[in-house]
Structures are given as C-alpha cells and as structure tokens.
Chains A and B, each alone.
Chain A
C-alpha cells in the first residue's frame, strides 16, 4: 500500500557512510525496526534517494531518505 508521508526516523550512521534506521513514528505509534531486509538507491533527477525495506517482525515497510532535503518518507506498507 502506497503511503508517501514524511515521518520522523531515529537513525544510526556508521562508517563508511552506512545508514541504519532504528525506529520511526507512524500513525501515533513508535515502530521498532527488527531487521533492515534490503537497501538500495535510486535517483529522482539530481537527487539521490536511499531506500530501506524494514520490518518490525510483522509488517514490511519501505522508508526513503532524500539525501538532498534530509527528509525521510514512509513510502509503502505491506502487511
């Protein structure tokens, strides 16, 4: 299901340039990420977007980090 909403995400950054989302807020809930199942990059024009497929153990979410605006978006939810 497409969501496309801006969300707050708690993230750890480690060398070399590794981004690891830990938890995020969505619909008044704090969702703890159990596993980052896959990560990939895409481009929207000049912007580089970092995609993270994450799960809290029951639901699969796709988070997208816009490295130009530094905004996180919850892109998709798959129950």
Chain B
C-alpha cells in the first residue's frame, strides 16, 4: 500500500504571527527582522512579497523595492512557543510526525487517516485547528513520499491544500523545472542545465551513469527525484547528534585577542551548557571565522580528552586560534564540539578538576532555576546579549531545542 505523507508548511510564518498579534499590521507589507544591528529579513508577508521582498535581503535592499515596508523586530519566543503547540496539534492526528523545521512538519497518516474520515478530513482538521488556535494559516501538501508532499505544498501556497496521488506524479513532473523540487538548489539546477537537463522528466530519463559521474552518489538520488520515486522515511525520533555548535554574527567587527576571547568564552559556554544538559562530551573542537569581506573558514582540532567543560572547550578553541594568522577583522564566530559520546563515566571529584566541575554544576543549577546568564563568567558579563537567530536545525524538543530570547 502506498504511503500517505502530509507536509504542513506555515504561510509566511513569522510575518503571519506578527500580523495576527498587531491588528495594525494586517494586510500590510511587513518584514520580520532580527534584533541585531546587521540584521537581514527573516520573513516577509505576502503583501511584501508582491513587491519582490524576500528572505535574506538587507533592510536597505527591501526598502528600495517597497518604500512603505514596515519592519518588525521578531520575537523568537513567540515563534518557538507556537511551533511547540503546532506539534501538539499534529500528534492528535498521527504519532508519526517529523518536525522538519520551526514551520514545517511531515506527517505519515497512512495508518490513521481512516479514524478521522479520510485524508481530506485530516488535512482540513489540521488547517482548522491551526486557524482557530492561532489565527494564522498553513498550506498542506499530500503525496506518496515526502518529496511529493513538499512539492504539493509548494504548489498550493498560500493557505492551500493539494493532494498529488501516485498515478498523477509522472505527468506532473514531466514538464516541471528541476529547481521546483525540494533539495535541488540553484547550483545543482545550474549544473543540470549545463547537461541539458531542465525538467524533472529530463532528469528521470537521464542515464544514472552520467549523473553519477557528475554528482557522485547523489546521482542516483537525483534520478529517483526526477522520477518522483525517491523517498526517505519520516524521522520520528531524534537522531543522535553528531555535533553541538553555536555561531553568531557579532554586533560589531572585532580584532583584538581580548575581544575575540570574550566571545569565544561566551560561545563555549553556550556549547558546553547544551552538551552538559543533554549528557554529551566531545573531543573535537571546530572554530569558524568569517572576516568582514565574508571570507569564511573553519579549522578543527582533535584533543585527547572528552569534555563538556566551558573553559576546556574555550582553551581548545584558543589552541586553534593560535594556529591562525588573522588577516582581517572578524564579523562572525562559531564554535562546534564533535566526536561526541554519551556522558557515562564518573567525574573526577577531587583536585582542581573536581572544583571546576562543582563550580560549573552549581552555575548550571542556578541558571536552570532562574534563567540563562543569571550566573555568567565575568569575562563576558559586561557584554551585550548576542543577537540570537533561530537556526534551521531548531526543533521543539531534544538537543536541538535551543532556548532563544
């Protein structure tokens, strides 16, 4: 029996939430931006999109396209809270839910749709629950695979509902440009075009040997996508994390070792705290640096001991920094901990390390109870809160559920 997969995609999520919150913003072109000085547009309302305003544009670029555009500083807690509630709505219809991002989810309703009177009723039920609960809309696409369900939702936006049945897939894909498929970005589409492959029909008919030669093991996946048969199962359970990382665009460009050190300690604390909360240790640290001209590079080192201690992570990051000859000022920094293992061993409770462990544990306990940064390291306590952006990897639960103010 063919699977019945549903893709629920919120319509201009952040902008819709802000328009629902403030009646004066409804039916007006608005753009949600971050709180940082060097912010970009995170979501534009459909009214703004009509002027060509899109995600990722700078405020200046957007204002040129739409002079009367209203900018609203996003409220991340509002969006993450709504996303958690959305998950609760989805699980009323099926336990097989994959929260793909803050505003997208895949639901496998193969085994449960009959309990609600059919596929259409499930889709309409979810749309109704979201409209009644939040006053915002979503688009639902349905298909035999997540690829086709996502395509259906993209084709039906906004506030739409489309079901692409298995037998309709070949005719629909025949003339569909490859870039319309989820997962085929501009670069892949360009590479395919250079091989004379413009549509999904072309892609499905292309010999796999040629695709493999150009794209490696992805060649087979691309052919399957072109034929509409590529499928991966819905990931209901959180996968074991391969790394834990945080990065931030700094409020202003930095250069001195003292400035760099303070931000490295702050990022190390964020990484270490999340690793400690979920019981992981790692022994590879990666440091990412972006210069003011957007040149970006990552260097990593593997260390003998597994750690989740803030100062040890920071010391490791400094070891990497010492191997780099900085040539320009820095606008973005990131620290990542990988080669993770579950924390199972007994900590050393005596000596210098035992004291450090007790201190970090006490800080975590206070911050868990009274909120983040209630107790913070003195080296960065005078600094402003780092601008926080919801990562595409954010999830409502588990290790990817990062609290973002």
Contacts and interface: CB of A to CB of B under 8 A. Distances in A.
Q: Is the interface of B mostly helix, strand, loop or mixed?
A: helix
A37 B21 contact: yes
Contact of B369 (A41, A45, A55): A45
A60 to B, nearest CB: 6
Given A45-B370, A46-B369, A53-B22, A40 B403 contact: no
A45 B368 contact: yes
B78 A40 contact: yes
A51 B22 contact: no
Interface string A41-78: 11111110001010100001000000000000000001
Contact of B21 (A38, A41, A46, A47): A38
Contacts of B372: 45
Interface in A27-46: 35, 37-38, 40-46
Interface string B10-36: 000000010011111000000000000
Contacts of B403: 43
Contact of B20 (A38, A47, A51): A38
Contacts of A46: 368-370
A68 to B, nearest CB: 11
Contacts of B81: 40-42, 51
Chain A, interface residues (CB within 8 Å), range: 10 to 19
Contact of B23 (A35, A41, A45): A35
Contact of B77 (A35, A40, A47): A40
B371 A44 contact: yes
Contacts of A37: 20-23, 135
B209 to A, nearest CB: 53
A38 B26 CA distance: 13
B78 A38 contact: yes
A19 to B, nearest CB: 14
Interface in B42-85: 77-78, 81-82, 84
B110 interface: no
Interface in B195-221: none
A55 B23 contact: yes
B397 interface: no
B294 to A, nearest CB: 34
B288 interface: no
Interface in B347-375: 367-372, 374
A51 B78 CA distance: 9
Nearest to A43: B403
Contacts of A44: 370-371
A55 B21 CA distance: 9
Contacts of B134: 38
The 4 closest A-B pairs by CB, nearest first: A40-B81, A45-B371, A38-B21, A42-B77
